[in-house]
Amino acid sequence: MSVTRKERVVRICLVVLFTILCFFVLVPFYAVTISAFKPGEELIRYGLNLRFDLNVMSLDNFVYLFTGDHAYFTWFFNSLLLTVVQVVLTLLISATVAYGFSAYDFRGKNFLFICVLLIMMVPFEILLLPLYKLIFNIGLMNSYSAIVLPGIASAATIFFFRQYLSGLPKELIAAGRVDGATEYGIYVRLILPIMKPSFAAMAILNGMNSWNNFLWPFMVLSNEGKYTLPIGLKTLLTPYGNNYDLLIVGSFFSILPIFLLFIAFQKYFIDGMTAGAVKG
Amino acid sequence: MIKRFLYSQKVAPYVFVLPFVLVFAIFWVYPLLSSFQMSFQQITLGQDSSFVGLDNYSKLLTDTVFLKAVVNSAVYMVLTLVILIPFPMLFAVLINNRLMWGREFFKSSFFFPALTSVVVAGTIFRLMFGEMEGSLINSVLGLFGLEPVKFLKGQTTGFIALLSLATWRWTGVNMLYFLSGLKSIPDDYYEAASIDGASSFQKFTRITMPLLKPVTIYVLTISIYAGLAMFIESMMLWNGNNSPKNIGLTIVGYLYRQGIEKNNLGYAAAVGIVLLLITMIINLTQLAFTGLFKKED
């Protein structure tokens, strides 16, 4: 189809508009990237800016990040470990629960599902103090279990998996029973393999949330050796410290993994993110 | 025998949903109830607590700092709604235009900010809105011959920084929500409207907006929640929970200050209950008005 003159004008306007908007979106990334190559004093003196000046830029911060005497990589690996554990547990448990909701009719099912939806509407923040008290009382302070456990049956993830499973033919389960599989055998051998594609979207979404999670881990963890990356970065930002070089190169380096993941698995990020918005 | 019982079709579903029941009971119901209970007590961690009735609540009513936090959270919520619903919707419709080029590239770029943690994003914005004339925003103002502004020291300018951060992080995500909603609108509707001679504007208000309603309700609901519960953005921007004259203090910030920083758990619990009530009332009213409770056809 040929494009008319008027349509060409519309196209140019659209592209120009989005290029300008895109510029505003990307400027902070540009600023943080070039600042990662600048000395910390420059940040303290001038703040974050866009000056590209090869005379002051160097790889010093990166050298410091990789060789310096600091806990950065401990935090990095803590985050990695915590993210993996959290994602694996959350996915397996939420999928199991979602299967229970979608495959069976049982007493109390509607009530329990309303509870799932309710969780999505109660601000988690109001539970901070009682949870803090609970964790304190059962002696789980400063432990990763305290961070992982409250989220393992994630309401949003259960909701997503249930939506996904609602399209599943019930005959499949019936056929499994005819073949003599137990209820759990059906789930493990027939259903879990089918759910694989939906795992990707939820793994990425949960992974992203876990990698970036801050407030609750911040309250629970008190030992610097156990800090995760966001908490570690936050502690670098003190009113007295001059850790700006490490802070900025560390921030840059903490966005990088998730950035690369995004570029590789774009579709899954977006699927996971928009799962709740359109009611199926 | 036990095995037979556990493996029966009647019991299996309960085994499947058991983890949720446990997590819900231990980490939601129990804390929620204990939050209510705590709000009627005077508590210091590790010491005996005492029952003080409605004291915490009556103190809250006259607490001007708390009032300031409520106003801040409410203003922030309203402004994020005003910015983060119409603009992303408009952008989604524009980017979805068949004449658009490089759609995937722009979609991804808009999404990038959502990948950053609040800690990193907050740090970046704190440094961009720094008070020195060399920092990003002030150097742009300088180009127009304007004096450097101490953004984080004033109420209005502080909120500008806060809202810029929110807009930067969430515009792309909300745009994606609307885009996924647009996908479910059949092209026929627009074709039929064209035949009837409808203008683009009419198509937008008569077809697009009504059919985007479910997505809009969803975005509205999560935005109300997120706006009222905002805390870390402010904490990062002001490098701690103390902003000059509390210009950046939010309800959760106050809860954190009273509960964790001052170890005044009972009073903080009351703050939490008030936040819960505000969120529920606003969201349920909103949902009742926008018609989620009406039976769908």
Question: What is the ipTM score, two decimals?
Answer: 0.90
Min Cα distance A97 → chain B (Å) is: 4
> Is residue B177 included in any domain, yes or no?
yes
Q: What is the pLDDT of residues B5-48, one digit of tens each?
A: 888 888 999 999 999 999 999 999 999 999 999 999 998 766 77
pLDDT at A278: 63
> Is residue B48 included in any domain, yes or no?
no
Q: What is the pTM of this model?
A: 0.92
Q: What is the pLDDT of residues B88-116, one digit of tens each?
A: 999 999 999 888 999 999 999 999 999 99
Domain count, chain B: 1
Kindly state the average pLDDT of the residues A7-27. Answer: 94
The more confidently predicted of residues B44 and A124 is: A124
Looking at the partner chain, which of A123, A183, A187 has a beta carbon nearest the beta carbon of B225? A123
> Is residue B37 included in any domain, yes or no?
no
pLDDT at B296: 46
Min Cα distance A234 → chain B (Å) is: 7
**pLDDT interval class at A235 (50, 70, 90):** confident
Q: What is the pLDDT of residues A41-91, one digit of tens each?
A: 888 788 788 888 888 888 988 988 888 777 889 999 999 999 999 999 999
> Residue B116 is part of a domain; what is its CATH number?
1.10.3720.10
> Is residue B23 included in any domain, yes or no?
no
Is pLDDT of B50 > 60?
yes
pLDDT at A241: 61
Kindly state the average pLDDT of the residues B256-283. Answer: 93
pLDDT at B91: 96
Distance CA A226, CA A147 (A): 12
Distance CA A34, CA B278 (A): 43
> Is residue B14 included in any domain, yes or no?
no
pLDDT at B3: 79
pLDDT at A240: 63
Distance CA A248, CA A236 (A): 10
Please tell me the least confidently modeled range out of A20-29, B45-54, B75-84: B45-54
**pLDDT interval class at B293 (50, 70, 90):** low
Interface test with chain B among A23, A48, A158, by most B beta carbons within 10 Å = A48
CA torsion sign for A235, A237, A238, A243 is positive
* A12: CB partners within 8 A, 6+ apart: none
Q: What is the pLDDT of residues A104-113, one digit of tens each?
A: 999 999 999 9
Task: Show the domain range for B111.
Answer: 54-289
Looking at the partner chain, which of A18, A32, A255 has a beta carbon nearest the beta carbon of B106? A18
Beta bridge partners of B42: B50
pLDDT at B134: 84
Is the Cβ of B7 closer than 8 Å to some Cβ of chain A?
Answer: yes
> Is residue B256 included in any domain, yes or no?
yes
> Is residue B31 included in any domain, yes or no?
no
CA torsion sign for B38, B44, B45, B46 is negative
> Is residue B91 included in any domain, yes or no?
yes
Degrees to nearest 5, angle at CA B174 with B80 and A228: 85
